[in-house]
C-alpha cells in the first residue's frame, strides 16, 4: 500500500506531550538492583473494556518464575517491580502518568496498551525522554504516522516500538468475509475524527476499490456524537449492504441501535475497535448476533508463553476461573508486553542502559503467547505485525454470545470453528 494512501485524511499533528526532566536522555538508575517496568492502560472510562483483564494478567505475570525469581541480565540478578497506571481513558492523563513513571518511579521501560488515545501520548513522552516503550492494541498507522511532526515525511523512532497490525491486515481479514455474502458491494464507513478514524479513512477507500467494491463515507464526526440519522440515511440511500467502522464503543452502540430503528440493516457488518470484548455485547443484546470483527488473540490460537510454556487456552481458562467472566483478546496482548520486556532485559548486558534496551527492541524476534513477533520485517522500523482472523459473535453455550472463528485467510494455523453467517439475512 502506498504511503500517500495511508496519510490521506490523517491531518494530524504530533502529540506534544513531552514532559520535562533533568535526567540525561537514554540513561537510567544504573546503581539499583531493581528493574522497574511501568504499565499504562485505560482501566476506567469509556475505553475500560480494553483493560478489563489487565489486573489479572499483571498478577499472573508477577507470579511467573521468570518475574518472581528475578531477571538475570549481564550475569547479575535483578528484582522486578511492575508499576501500574490508569489513564482513565484520557490522553492528557496518559501523558501525565508516563511522566510520573519516568520521573518518580525511574522506569527502565514502559509498556502500554489499547487505542491511540492511550499508546500515542505515552510513546511520545517516552520518545522525548529516552525511555524504551512498547505499545500494543493500536493499528500501526495510527501509532506511527499520527505521532510524526510531518506525517508526509515520517522518521523512525528510537525508543518506541509496538506490535499489532494495520489497515492492510483489516482488509485481509474483512474482504474475504465480504466475498462470501452476495451484496450490492457498496461499503458504508463510520469513522470519527480521531487517530484511528483518520488512519482508516485514509487507507480503506483504495482497499475497497481494489477489491471491486464502492466506498461510502458516513462523514467525519466528533467522538461522543449522539445522533447518527444523517449518516444512516446516507447509507440507506446508497444501498450499502456492507458496514465497516472504527469508533469508540459507546458511539457504535448508539449508532447501531439507531440504525436498527431507522431500517439500516447491512447484510454483513465487519467492525473494528468495537465488539472486541464480551462486555461490549451486553449493551446491544441480540443486535450483536453475527456481527463480524477481527481477532488477534484467543483460546483457539496455537501459541504458548515464552515465560512458562502455558498455552493461550490455559490463560483464557485461568482468567475465566478467577474472574467468572468471559475471556477477552487483550489478555494475550498485555501478557506479551511483559514477554517482550523480559526478552529485552535478559538479552542486554545492562538493563538500566535505556539506549541499549531500545536498540535491542528494534531488532527483536521471538515467539510467545501472541505468536511470532518480528521487528526486523517492518512494515516500518519499530513495528511487528500480527495476523488476525475473522470472527463472528454467535449464540454461546457457556456465555450469551461467544466469538467463533469463521475465516482464517491471514492465519491458516488457527482452526475455523463455524461457517460465516450474514449479519442481516
Does the structure show a pLDDT above 90 at 249? Answer: no
Task: Give the model confidence (pLDDT) of 18-29 as tens digits.
Answer: 333 334 455 555
Considering the domain architecture, whether residues 49 and 97 belong to the same structural domain is answered as yes
pLDDT confidence of residue 20: 36
Q: Residue 15 — pLDDT band, cuts 50, 70, 90?
A: very low
Q: Which residues of 368-392 are buried (b: 16+ CB within 10 A; e: fewer)?
A: bbbbebebeeebebbbbbbbbbbbb
Considering the domain architecture, whether residues 192 and 237 belong to the same structural domain is answered as yes
What is the extent of the structural domain holding 275?
Answer: 168-295+388-407
pLDDT confidence of residue 11: 34
Considering the domain architecture, whether residues 332 and 400 belong to the same structural domain is answered as no
Does the structure show a pLDDT above 70 at 4? Answer: no
pLDDT confidence of residue 110: 98
Domain CATH code at residue 184: 3.40.50.2300
Considering the domain architecture, whether residues 51 and 188 belong to the same structural domain is answered as no
Does the structure show a pLDDT above 70 at 6? Answer: no
Does the structure show a pLDDT above 60 at 296? Answer: yes
72-75 long-range Cβ contacts below 8 angstroms, 24+ apart: 72/346, 73/35, 73/345, 73/346, 73/348, 73/349, 73/350, 73/351, 74/348, 74/349, 74/350, 74/351
Domains contained in the chain, number: 2
Distance from first CA to last CA of the chain, Å, rounded?
33
pLDDT confidence of residue 206: 94
Task: Give the model confidence (pLDDT) of 118-173 as tens digits.
Answer: 999 999 999 999 999 999 999 999 899 999 999 889 999 999 999 999 989 999 99
Considering the domain architecture, whether residues 84 and 115 belong to the same structural domain is answered as yes
Does the structure show a pLDDT above 90 at 253? Answer: yes
d(CA 79, CA 95): 27
The beta-strand segments (E) located in 9-159 are 34-41, 71-73, 76-86, 109-113, 133-136
Considering the domain architecture, whether residues 244 and 350 belong to the same structural domain is answered as no
Does the structure show a pLDDT above 90 at 83? Answer: yes
- Whose cell is 535483578? That residue is 78
d(CA 318, CA 253): 30
The beta-strand segments (E) located in 209-337 are 214-217, 242-245, 268-271, 292-295
Average pLDDT over residues 272-298: 91
Average pLDDT over residues 5-9: 40
Does the structure show a pLDDT above 80 at 293? Answer: yes
pLDDT confidence of residue 114: 94
Task: Calculate the average pLDDT of the chain.
Answer: 92
Judged on CB neighbours under 10 Å (0-12, 13-18, 19+), 412 is: exposed
Closest alpha carbon to 245 in 181, 186, 200, 305: 200
Q: Residue 273 — pLDDT band, cuts 50, 70, 90?
A: confident
Considering the domain architecture, whether residues 208 and 349 belong to the same structural domain is answered as no
The answer to the question of residue 152 being in a domain is yes
Does the structure show a pLDDT above 60 at 101? Answer: yes
Q: If you compute the radius of gyration of the chain from its CA atoms, what whole number of angstroms results? A: 21
Considering the domain architecture, whether residues 376 and 401 belong to the same structural domain is answered as no
Does the structure show a pLDDT above 80 at 203? Answer: yes
Task: Give the model confidence (pLDDT) of 366-377 as tens digits.
Answer: 999 999 999 999
d(CA 405, CA 391): 4
Considering the domain architecture, whether residues 182 and 287 belong to the same structural domain is answered as yes
The beta-strand segments (E) located in 202-253 are 214-217, 242-245
d(CA 250, CA 252): 6
Does the structure show a pLDDT above 50 at 7? Answer: no
pLDDT confidence of residue 178: 98
pLDDT confidence of residue 108: 98
Task: Give the model confidence (pLDDT) of 341-358 as tens digits.
Answer: 999 999 999 999 999 999
Considering the domain architecture, whether residues 130 and 183 belong to the same structural domain is answered as no
pLDDT confidence of residue 31: 58
d(CA 315, CA 324): 14
The answer to the question of residue 412 being in a domain is no
Amino acid at each position: 500500500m502506498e504511503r500517500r494512501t495511508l496519510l490521506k485524511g490523517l491531518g494530524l499533528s504530533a502529540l506534544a506531550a513531552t514532559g520535562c526532566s533533568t535526567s540525561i536522555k537514554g540513561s537510567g538508575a544504573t546503581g539499583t538492583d531493581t528493574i522497574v517496568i511501568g504499565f499504562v492502560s485505560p482501566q476506567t472510562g469509556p475505553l475500560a473494556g480494553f483493560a478489563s483483564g489487565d489486573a489479572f494478567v499483571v498478577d499472573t505475570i508477577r507470579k511467573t518464575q521468570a518475574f518472581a525469581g528475578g531477571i538475570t541480565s549481564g550475569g547479575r540478578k535483578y528484582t522486578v517491580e511492575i508499576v501500574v497506571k490508569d489513564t482513565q481513558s484520557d490522553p492528557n492523563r496518559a501523558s501525565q502518568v508516563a511522566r510520573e513513571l519516568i520521573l518518580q518511579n525511574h522506569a527502565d521501560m514502559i509498556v502500554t496498551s489499547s487505542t491511540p488515545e492511550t499508546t500515542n501520548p505515552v510513546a511520545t513522552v517516552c520518545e522525548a525522554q529516552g525511555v524504551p516503550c512498547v505499545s500494543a492494541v493500536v493499528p500501526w498507522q495510527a501509532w506511527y504516522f499520527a505521532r510524526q511532526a510531518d506525517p508526509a515525511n515520517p522518521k523512525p523512532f528510537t525508543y518506541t516500538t509496538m506490535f499489532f497490525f494495520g489497515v492492510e491486515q483489516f482488509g485481509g481479514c474483512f474482504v474475504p468475509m465480504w466475498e462470501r455474502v452476495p451484496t450490492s458491494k457498496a461499503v458504508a464507513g463510520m469513522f470519527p475524527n480521531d487517530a484511528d478514524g483518520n488512519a482508516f479513512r485514509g487507507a480503506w477507500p483504495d482497499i475497497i476499490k481494489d477489491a471491486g467494491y464502492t466506498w461510502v463515507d458516513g462523514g467525519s464526526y466528533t467522538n461522543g456524537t449522539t445522533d447518527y440519522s444523517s449518516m444512516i440515511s446516507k447509507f440507506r440511500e446508497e444501498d450499502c449492504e456492507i458496514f465497516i467502522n472504527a469508533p469508540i464503543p459507546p458511539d457504535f452502540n448508539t449508532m447501531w441501535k439507531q440504525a436498527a430503528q431507522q431500517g439500516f440493516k447491512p447484510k454483513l457488518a465487519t467492525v473494528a475497535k468495537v465488539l472486541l470484548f464480551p462486555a461490549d455485547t451486553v449493551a446491544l443484546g441480540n443486535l450483536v448476533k453475527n456481527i463480524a470483527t477481527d481477532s488477534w488473540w484467543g483460546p483457539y490460537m496455537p501459541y504458548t508463553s515464552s515465560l512458562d510454556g502455558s498455552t493461550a487456552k490455559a490463560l483464557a481458562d485461568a482468567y475465566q476461573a478467577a474472574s467468572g467472566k468471559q475471556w477477552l483478546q487483550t489478555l494475550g496482548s498485555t501478557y506479551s508486553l511483559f514477554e517482550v520486556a523480559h526478552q529485552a532485559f535478559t538479552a542486554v548486558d545492562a538493563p538500566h542502559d535505556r539506549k541499549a534496551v531500545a536498540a535491542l527492541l528494534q531488532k527483536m524476534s521471538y515467539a510467545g503467547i501472541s505468536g511470532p513477533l518480528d521487528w526486523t520485517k517492518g512494515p516500518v522500523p519499530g513495528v511487528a505485525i500480527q495476523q488476525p482472523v475473522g470472527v463472528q459473535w454467535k449464540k454461546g453455550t457457556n456465555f450469551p454470545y461467544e466469538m467463533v472463528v469463521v475465516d482464517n485467510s491471514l492465519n491458516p494455523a488457527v482452526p475455523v470453528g463455524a461457517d460465516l453467517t450474514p449479519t442481516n439475512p
